[in-house]
Structure 1
Amino acid sequence: MRKLSWDEIERPAPEEIPTLPKHPVRLVVHNVRSIHNVGSMFRTSDAARIEHIHLTGFTGTPEHKDLHKTALGAQDAVEWSQHDEPRPLLRDLKDAGYTIAALEQTDHTQRPDAAPADAFPIALVVGNEVRGIEPDVLDAVDLALEIPQYGAKISLNVGVAYGIAVYDLIRRSRTLLGPPGDEDRME
């Protein structure tokens, strides 16, 4: 085994990214206070090649210079938008055919890797590092997804949780729907 050099790693050219097919997943980041968490989610979203990131509430945007420390340029590769309130956005996404899923611990959750076949396209909502997703936002979702945890703590960092959940959702989508477009690179 040998570690690959930077030049040996197959990846699309930055100018190619906008034309490549995306996985049928969107991210809604609501009231996440740490710009480093937001930057991490941008970087993960680029790696997962999702459709769009929606930043709501007081979540910081790529204009914040500290986001670049964790996003490492991904803020330029992933489409994003900023919205003051999440509920009108969630209604618009629902009207456009998206299932709205909360990444939250509730009394009725399922694992992201077991999302129903009709859940795609899906908009995944993540919330504040301390309070999670607010009850009025939770009232607007179609389903709740939860990552199984086996230790003493009952939560994960929001950026880490998103990374686990989005890759579970992508695997599920690819199993049910196949890869987006004619794409060999991601197999």
Structure 2
Amino acid sequence: MRKLENSELDRKSIEDFKKSDKTSIIIVLDDIRSLHNIGSVFRTSDAFLIEKIYLCGITATPPNKEIHKTALGATETVAWEHNKNIIEVIENLKKDNIEVYAIEQVENSISLESFCPKKDTTYALVFGNEVYGVSQEAIKICNGSIEIPQLGTKHSLNISVSAGIVIWDLFQKIKN
């Protein structure tokens, strides 16, 4: 076994990325405080050809040195938009027939392993503040909620870890 060189990884150029067919997933980040979390979500979104990221509330926007540290250029590839109002973003996504799911622990949530994405459907995944999660106001207008099963003493995950888990799970379900 030999570790691959960067030149062997068949990386897309920014132009090629923008022309590529995207995975039918949109990410919505609401009131994310950590610039490193934001950058990490951009980087994960680049890896899985995510359509777009909405940055809402107090979530910082590129260009930003601290976001760039973890995004490593993904802010140049992944489409993004800032809108202060999470409710407006969710309502507009739903008007465009996009299924919007909060990633949160709520009554009647769907456990991630049981969630089956429908064919030819675009999904928006809402991730909330590191301390308070997705707001109740936003949860009320989502199509539903997906919960990551957790079995230990801590029943919360870092936002960038949660995003990575959910994006990977939906990506492989959509692609298969």
After TM superposition, the score normalised by the length of structure 1 is 0.90
Residue 80 of structure 2 aligns with which residue? Answer: 80
Residue 132 of structure 2 aligns with which residue? Answer: 131
Residue 40 of structure 1 aligns with which residue? Answer: 40
Q: Determine whether 1:162 maps to 2:145.
A: no
Q: Determine whether 1:92 maps to 2:92.
A: yes
- Contact 1:113/1:169, CA 8 A, preserved across alignment: no
Residue 122 of structure 1 aligns with which residue? Answer: 123
Give a deviation string over 1:94-139, Cα, whole Å, max 9, x none. 1111000010011112233432343831000000000001110111
Identity of aligned residues (%): 38
Give a deviation string over 1:57-96, Cα, whole Å, max 9, x none. 0001112221111100000010000001011111111111
After TM superposition, the score normalised by the length of structure 2 is 0.95
Alpha-carbon RMSD across the aligned residues, in angstroms, is 1.2
Gaps of 5+ in 2: none
> For 1:3-152, what aligned pairs fall within 5 Å after superposition?
3-118=3-118, 120-152=121-153
The one-letter amino acid paired with 2:28 is V
- Contact 1:113/1:171, CA 8 A, preserved across alignment: no
- 1:14 shift after superposition: 2.1
Q: Between Structure 1 and Structure 2, how many residues are aligned?
A: 175
Q: After the TM superposition, which parts of structure 1 deviate over 6 Å for at least 4 consecutive aligned residues?
A: none
The one-letter amino acid paired with 1:157 is N
Gaps of 5+ in 1: 176-187
